[in-house]
A = this chain, B = another copy of it.
Amino acid sequence: MYAYKSSEERLIELKYLLDKKRTAELSELLRRTNPVDIVEFIEDLSSEEALVVFRLLKKDDAVEVFAALDSDDKERLQQGLKEDEFRSLLRELNFDDMIDTLEEMPAAMVQRILRTADKARRDLVNKYLQFPEDSAGTLMTTEFVEVKPYMTVRQALDHIKKVGHDKVTIYTCYVTSPTKKLLGYVSLRSIVTNTKETLIGDLMYEDVISVTTTEDQEDVAYTFQKYGFTALPVVDNTNRLVGVITVDDIMWIIEQEATEDFQRIAATTPDELDYSKASPFSLAKNRIPWLMFLMISATFTSTILKSYQSVIQAVIALNMFIPILTDSGGNAGSQASTLVIRAMATNDINTKDWLKVLLKEISVGLICGLALGFVAFLKCYFFDKVDLSVSLIVALTIIGIVIMAKAVGSLLPMIAEKLGFDPAIMASPLISTILDSLSLIVYFTIAKTIIPGI
């Protein structure tokens, strides 16, 4: 891919110039490099080198690069910078990037830095630091363009020209009342394609979709996707415009929410830390509780197995098929649960659809079960050459288990959701453990029916 190759080559060139201390050329090449690539470059440097490179950046790039660094790298840089350098950097940051930076710093240092800010700004910062985690309030920026309904296109364009440099987005402008109530929005597209004397009030779209500061980021992401927006206004409880969320922040959230579900499905505690950056200890800490819980749950299966000890000793052939049966049950169940979990996460289905989903999965289970049972019978009878009765027991058990697995696998995530848990906890590992016990009960019940007296 063009972009990758180009940025990889550039990183090598930048490193070469840095190592050779060819500062003028380095500075020149940095000017022509996308800040995203500069971030990648800085991440791999020592603290001293990082500081050298950072000080070579032009101001706009420095601000953008700093905002995009992760917290460790921010801290490294901050320690190298003089306090007034850092303070002026902080002043240049977009408001939401500044909040993110402050959130990652020790509280004492935040207080020291805020002491020099004026009261209004200090209050605003403190308010921001209190939004619930992962809410729209923590995602929004306050640097947006506000216009008034009585402005003409010419006035609006002049206004944008004056304030547009510092704003995160200027492509959607928000129309507000004197009390800051959100009246509507107008796209820069319609501003530039209309005549100079048109009133903003006539161009604005009034049926504006907005979110509130406390709304969860997952719902915000869904609204973006659904309507294909590039920006979305954030209002407080009284419909006063307080900020704007832009699509570039949302793309990461769609991915992050999916990653959290992958982590839960893998039976680990979700962690925002990237896998590559997590230490073995923190990974183990996220995994042990679930492994322990599942291991202890599995003792339930052991107990059931033990209670059928006499049946196994009577017909030892039954024992060897246990892994096939419990595995098939687990697999059939995790297919159903994972797909249902994902369909709920993407708003394709919700708990109100439970009966429809259950009936569908039972039908799927019947089709899959018959196919698997047929093959299992052939395998047992002709290949393993066990008794007809045992072959029948295995085949019938498979059919029963697969149908049961589909039903349980689809219902449990919806029950979890209904009870206020994350449905993703009802994924493969837990479902498999639950199904293990049920599968054994089905197996030995069928066995006792077909071979009476064991």
Please tell me if A363 contacts chain B, counting CB pairs below 8 Å: yes
Total interface residues on A, using CB and 8 Å? Answer: 121
Name, among A193, A226, A320, A327, the residue most crowded by chain B CB atoms within 10 Å (CB to CB). Answer: A327
**Taking beta carbons and an 8 Å cutoff, which residues of A are in contact with B?**
1-4, 6, 32-34, 36, 157, 160-161, 164-165, 170-171, 188-189, 192-193, 206-207, 209-212, 215, 219, 223-230, 235, 247-248, 250-252, 254-255, 258-259, 261-263, 265-268, 274-276, 280-281, 283-284, 287-288, 290-292, 294-296, 298-299, 301-303, 305-306, 309, 312-313, 316, 319-324, 326-328, 330-332, 334-335, 337-343, 346, 348-349, 353, 360, 363-364, 367-368, 371-372, 375-376, 379, 398, 402, 428-429, 432-433, 436
- B252, A225: Cβ atoms closer than 8 Å: yes
Are A372 and B429 touching (Cβ within 8 A)? no
Docked Cα-Cα span, A161 to B275, in Å, equals 48
Of all chain B residues, the one with the shortest Cβ separation from A277 is B348
Contact (Cβ within 8 A) A305 B276: no
Q: How far is the CB of A379 from chain B (nearest CB, A)?
A: 7
Whether B379 lies near A211 (C-beta < 8 A) is no
Residues from chain B with a CB closer than 8 A to the CB of A283 are 339, 360, 364
Question: Could you name 28 residue pairs across A and B whose Cβ atoms are closer than 8 Å?
Answer: A2-B212, A3-B210, A34-B227, A157-B192, A161-B193, A224-B251, A254-B254, A258-B262, A262-B339, A262-B342, A263-B342, A266-B334, A266-B335, A276-B349, A280-B360, A287-B364, A288-B371, A291-B332, A291-B402, A295-B331, A295-B372, A295-B376, A301-B323, A323-B326, A327-B433, A327-B436, A331-B429, A432-B432
Q: Is B274 a contact of A298 with CB atoms below 8 Å?
A: no
Given A157-B192, A266-B339: A292 in contact with B372 (beta carbons within 8 A):
yes
Select which of B160, B161, B235, B372 is within 8 A of A291 by beta carbon: B372
> CB distance B248 to A251 under 8 Å?
no
Is the pair B193, A165 in contact by a Cβ cutoff of 8 Å? Answer: yes
CA of A340 to CA of B226 in the docked complex: distance in angstroms? 30
Residue of B287, B346, B372 near A259 (CB, 8 A) is B346
Please measure, in the bound complex, the distance between the C-alpha atom of A288 and the C-alpha atom of B368, giving whole angstroms: 6
How long is the Cα–Cα vector from A274 to B262 in the complex, in angstroms?
A: 19
Q: Note all chain B residues with C-beta closer than 8 A to A280.
A: 360, 363-364, 367
Q: Is the CB of B295 within 8 A of A327?
A: yes
Q: Are B372 and A323 in contact (CB under 8 A)?
A: no
Chain B residues with Cβ below 8 Å from A189 are: 164, 170-171
Contacting pair B301 A327 (CB below 8 A): yes
Shortest CB distance A454–B (Å):
16
A386 to chain B, nearest CB (A): 11
* Chain B residues with CB under 8 A of A364: 280, 283-284, 287
Q: How far is the CA of A224 from the CA of B207 in the complex (A)?
A: 29
Q: Which among A2, A189, A262, A298 has the greatest number of chain B C-beta atoms within 10 A? A: A262
Q: Are B34 and A207 in contact (CB under 8 A)?
A: yes
**Do B164 and A193 touch across chains, with their CB atoms under 8 A apart?**
yes
User: Contacts A262-B339, A262-B342, A291-B328: A32 and B207 contacting too (C-beta < 8 A)?
Assistant: yes
**Chain B residues with Cβ under 8 A from A225's Cβ?**
251-252, 255
Residues on B with C-beta less than 8 A from A247 are: 230, 247-248, 251
Given contacts A34-B207, A211-B2, A323-B302, contact A295 B375 (CB under 8 A): yes
Not counting A161-B192, A276-B353, A309-B316, a sample of 6 additional A-B residue pairs whose C-beta atoms are within 8 angstroms of each other reads A268-B339, A287-B332, A291-B332, A294-B327, A309-B320, A330-B429
- Residues of chain B within 8 A (CB-CB) of A263 are 338-339, 342
